[in-house]
Amino acid sequence: MTAGESSGSVVRRILLGSQLRRLRESRGITREAAGYSIRASESKISRMELGRVSFKARDVEDLLTLYGVSDEAERESLLGLAKEANVAGWWHSFGDVLPGWFQTYVGLEGAASLIRIYEVQFVHGLLQTESYAHAVVACGIPDAPAAEIDRRVALRLERQKVLVSERAPRFHAVLDEAALRRPYGDRSVMQGQLRHLIEISEQSNITLQVMPFSFGGHAGESGSFTMLRFPESDLSDLVYLEQLTSALYLDKREEVAQYERVMRRLHEDSPDPSETRDLLRGLLQLI
């Protein structure tokens, strides 16, 4: 199974969920009533419509019947989507160290055509060196055995392959200078990380900017966030907000628009990529 196929299954799950939601709403049927029809709770319908659970063919068939979808071609198309959506992704082999709530994001990250991030705590996971990632993971779970830390680092390095894959997305990162000033690991680890950022920022699909302390207050006051865009026209942009034990996915147009404005201001107010590389070289000299 290729990374593209497994990531695509996540997108298909979300696409199917959104289509089921539109059908339900167009018929004026509540989530509670939909749940009753498939012997499930209202919360399960919500999770299905958000694409966060796998789909049983019988459940999809019953919902389509409830929603009045009688056209055989339409039914077969949606049932086929359900079958494709249940393909397991490569990341399931890391289930021992990958929280369930993060699995959806990993799949979406691999399927996105554009990834935009703002990070303030540390260098974003897709840009971390192995040594830096090891230091970050070890700091986050200090009591974990060495084998678990190594597995988590391996997962992070596997995720990074998306940036050099055949269908690599455009990746636009804004790192707050605080993320670069905060040391993880020893001097050599930080030097290696800064050199890596300088090097990787030269890739044609990667745009890297640093929001410097000298700018003062800026638009990213709410903290780190990620925006994902997909090649499928039926899928709206998503905002991903990670928390300690869970995550939020925002897809309402008005909410996404607010983050879009913040991201645009961060892009406009941060030094351009060339100036950012000069800033990184300056920081490298200070370590």
Q: What is the DSSP string of 235-283?
A: SPPEEEEE-SS-EEEE--HHHHHHHHHHHHHHHHHSPPHHHHHHHHHHH
127-172 per-position pLDDT tens digit: 999 999 999 999 999 999 999 999 999 999 999 999 999 889 999 9
231-275 per-position pLDDT tens digit: 877 678 999 999 988 889 888 889 999 999 999 999 999 999 999
Q: Is 268 within 8 Å of 208 (Cβ atoms)?
A: no
Query: What distance in Å separates the CA atoms of residue 166 and residue 168, rounded to the nearest whole number?
Result: 6
What pTM does this model have? Answer: 0.80
Q: Is 226 within 8 Å of 115 (Cβ atoms)?
A: yes
Residue 124 has pLDDT above 70, yes or no: yes
Q: What is each CA distance from 203 to 165, 171, 176, 198, in whole angstroms?
A: 12, 10, 20, 10
Averaged pLDDT score across all residues of the chain:
91
Handedness of CA 133, 138, 139, 140 (dihedral sign): positive
Q: Is 216 within 8 Å of 200 (Cβ atoms)?
A: no
Per-residue confidence band for 13, with pLDDT thresholds at 50, 70 and 90: confident
Q: Which residues of 189-210 are buried (b: 16+ CB within 10 A; e: fewer)?
A: bbeebbebbbebbeeeebbbbb
- Residues above pLDDT 70, as percent of the chain: 97
Residue 121 has pLDDT above 60, yes or no: yes
